[in-house]
Amino acid sequence: MTFSILLTPLVLHPRNPAFQDGSGLIPYFFVGFFLLFLSYAVWLVWSISQWLQEDMGGVENG
């Protein structure tokens, strides 16, 4: 089954739809949303780490 799926040609969906489309704005929106969600993920990890440090008494705010 896996072998047949790998050999099946892509008819309905191109290999790289975000950058092979005719519109020029789609790649910019794709990269913009990627960077937006990446920065949110970095902020979320940082925020949780700060919260855990405060819970354990590692960081004291005056």
Q: What is the pLDDT of residues 20-45, one digit of tens each?
A: 767 778 888 989 999 999 999 999 99
User: Global pTM?
Assistant: 0.56
Match 């975000």 to its residue by tokens.
18
The residue assigned the tokens 């354990």 is: 56
CB atoms within 10 A of CB 2: 6
User: CB of 56 within 8 A of CB of 50?
Assistant: no
d(CA 59, CA 2): 51
Cβ atoms of 27 and 35 closer than 8 Å? no
**Which contacts of 23-26 are long-range, i.e. CB under 8 A and separated by 24 or more positions?**
none
Q: Supply the pLDDT for residue 59.
A: 54
